Amino acid sequence: MQVHMWERPYTCSQCHQSFNLKSHVETHMRIHTEEKPYQCSLCNKAFSQKSLSKFQVRTHTGEKPYPCSQCDKAFSWKVIFLVHIRKHTVRSTFVVDIVCRGLTIDFDQEYTR
């Protein structure tokens, strides 16, 4: 079924939060069940989402696949890289609150050219 972004036909039976995709509510349900089916291959730490186990591996290997072309910094997470590159392209003050698959990352930075 095709759903518009603003439509949220799938609802969590536990907390009644709604989602636009069935897979999102299924992933969300792991918060309530505490199911963590994905493990880091290096330390066996368990995660509710496959992508989080991938990021955990990067903490061990030091892999940073998102290099900035404007400076010598590189990043493990694409979203942090995207926030960083604004430093080089936008003169503004901004606050970004990112909820990333169960993790909340708060940025409160003033970036200038």
pLDDT along the chain (113 residues), means of 10: 75 94 92 94 92 91 94 92 86 47 45 37
pTM over 0.85: no
Q: What pLDDT was estimated at residue 48?
A: 92
Please give the residue range of the domain that contains residue 13. Answer: 1-34
Q: What pLDDT was estimated at residue 3?
A: 60
7 in any annotated domain: yes
Element (H, E) at 72: none
40 in any annotated domain: no
Q: Indicate the pairing of strand 46-47 with strand 18-19.
A: unpaired
44 in any annotated domain: no
- The token duo for 67 is 């290099």
Q: What pLDDT was estimated at residue 66?
A: 95
Q: What pLDDT was estimated at residue 2?
A: 60
Q: What pLDDT was estimated at residue 60?
A: 95
46 in any annotated domain: no
Phi and psi angles of residue 99, each rounded to the nearest 5 degrees, phi first: -105, 115
Q: How far apart are CA 75 and CA 39, in angstroms?
A: 22
**By C-alpha distance, which of 48, 1, 37, 39 is closest to 20?**
1
Q: What pLDDT was estimated at residue 109?
A: 43
49 in any annotated domain: no
Q: What pLDDT was estimated at residue 86?
A: 87
Q: What pLDDT was estimated at residue 88?
A: 85
* Domains in the chain, number: 2
**CATH at 18:** 3.30.160
Q: How far apart are CA 74 and CA 85, in angstroms?
A: 11
